Amino acid sequence: MRPVGPLPPGVYWLRRLLLVLLVVVLLAAVWWVYLRVTSDGSGTDPAALVPSESPTPNPSPSDAPSPAQSPTGQPSASTPGAVPDCRPREITVSVTTDASTYRADEQPQFTLLVTNDGTVTCRRDVGQSALELVVSSGDVQAWSSDDCNPGGSSAVRTFGPGDQWSQAVTWSRQQSAPGCPSAEPLAPAGSYQVVARNLQRLSEPADFVLR
C-alpha cells in the first residue's frame, strides 16, 4: 500500500484520496437518483396512468323534472291535482246529417259532436267503446254502430270549457242486428232519425229521409 515512484509519497496519497472521493460522489449520486424515482412514482409506471373524465354530477332537486314536465301524456286520475272526469251534466252530445234527404244511390254521413259545456277543464272518454250511433224508423231500430263493432278501445281526452270533439261516420244504408248477422237488407225508403251516444249521454234525434 506504500506509494512507489519518482514523486514524493504525498502526491500518490493525494491521488488515491481524490479517486476515493470520486467513487463516493458517484455512488451518492446514483443513490439520490434512485430515491427520487421510487418516491415520485410510488413503484407505478407513469406511462400507464390515463386521466379519467370527471363523473357527471347527479341533478340537484331543483334540476329534476317536475310532474308537469314529465312526458306521460294525459294526466292520471290518481295523480294529485290531476284533471277530473267530466260530470255528465257538463257534457252535451249532438249529431247532424250532411243532408235532409238522400237519393237511393246516396249514403248518409253523420257527424257526432261531444262538447264540454261546463266551466272547468275535465277528462272524457271518446273512444269506440264509449260511442254509438243508432238509426231507427219509428219504433223499429234499423242500424246500430255497436251491432257489428261492439266494445273497442277507450280514448280519454282533456276538454277545456267549450272544447268540442267530433267524428264523422258514413252509413251504408245496410240494416244490422245484435251479433252482426250477415246479408242484412238495405233500409227501405222512408223517414228515419239518428241518435248519438257518448257513455250515458244521448243526443237529440236528427231526422232525415231515405228515397
Chain-centre distance for alpha carbon 9: 101
pLDDT tens figures, 142-190: 999 999 998 889 999 999 999 999 999 999 999 999 999 998 999 999 9
CA–CA dist 25, 22 (Å, integer) = 5
From first CA to last CA, the distance across the chain in angstroms is: 145
Tell me the three state secondary structure of residue 135. Answer: strand
Global pTM reads: 0.61
Torsion, CA 21, CA 27, CA 32, CA 38, rounded to 10? -170
pLDDT tens figures, 1-21: 555 556 666 666 677 777 777
Give 153 or 33, the one with higher predicted confidence.
Answer: 153
Pick from 29-43, 124-138, 171-185: least confident: 29-43
pLDDT tens figures, 52-94: 233 333 333 332 222 222 223 333 333 446 899 999 999 999 9
